[in-house]
Amino acid sequence: MNRKSIAFASIIGAAGLIAVSSVIAQPAGQPEPATAAQPARAPGAGAGGFATLLTQGLMSVDGCLGVEAAQTQSGKNVIIAWFRDAKAAREWYNHPVHRRMVGMVGADPGASKPLEHVADDTPVMVMATITPSDKPGVEGFPMPISQISIELYTSLPGGAAINGRLAPEAFPVEHMDTY
């Protein structure tokens, strides 16, 4: 398998968990009702199973600062994870849960060099998205979807926050104005 095939297989593995957890949990746009013991979940966040496995796996990585799940207005299911640095993000890439996801599609995550062009101390936000579809749009994917993407970001100086922010407080953002 070449590097592009391995990277694509990795995307399919992560996106598969997003897709399956979204479908198992709740219909799109229908958050679970809140109870005294459990707050309402975001649409697409999943009630357990794969979403729980993915979130717990991410949070078990030393340096994973937080995980969020959401659904966009256009229907994309999203999981965002913030890592203290690229080294921690690489640990997730080699984590047993991630390796299992990648293995589900027959790829070898050990054959790739994740974030090879990113310095170890760079903070990283990983955003995985998939878009469900009525008909298959990605060959070999077990569910009908039209799009899969795993994108990596880092913070830029600036911004403003009132009473909190999307990223965990431990995710560094220089020159952030807080009120």
Domain ranges in the chain are: 3-178
Q: Please give the C-alpha separations between residue 49 and each of 58, 88, 105, 122, 172, in angstroms, as whole numbers.
A: 14, 24, 18, 32, 31
Could you give the count of Cα atoms lying within 13 Å of 162 in the half-sphere of its Cβ? Answer: 0
Q: Is the pLDDT of residue 41 over 90?
A: no
pLDDT per residue as tens digits for the range 103-155: 665 567 777 788 999 999 999 999 989 899 998 877 666 778 888 888 999 99
Residue 48 has what pLDDT? 44
Q: Is the pLDDT of residue 5 over 80?
A: no
The gap from C-alpha 159 to its chain's centroid, in whole angstroms, comes to 23
The gap from C-alpha 19 to its chain's centroid, in whole angstroms, comes to 11
Residue 19 has what pLDDT? 42
Residue 113 has what pLDDT? 86
Q: What is the mean pLDDT of residues 84-92?
A: 96
Q: What is the mean pLDDT of residues 31-41?
A: 37
Residue 80 has what pLDDT? 97
What does residue 45 show for φ and ψ, rounded to 5 degrees? Answer: -75, -25
Give the amino acid at 102.
Answer: V
Distance CA 3, CA 103 (A): 15
Q: What is the pTM of this model?
A: 0.72
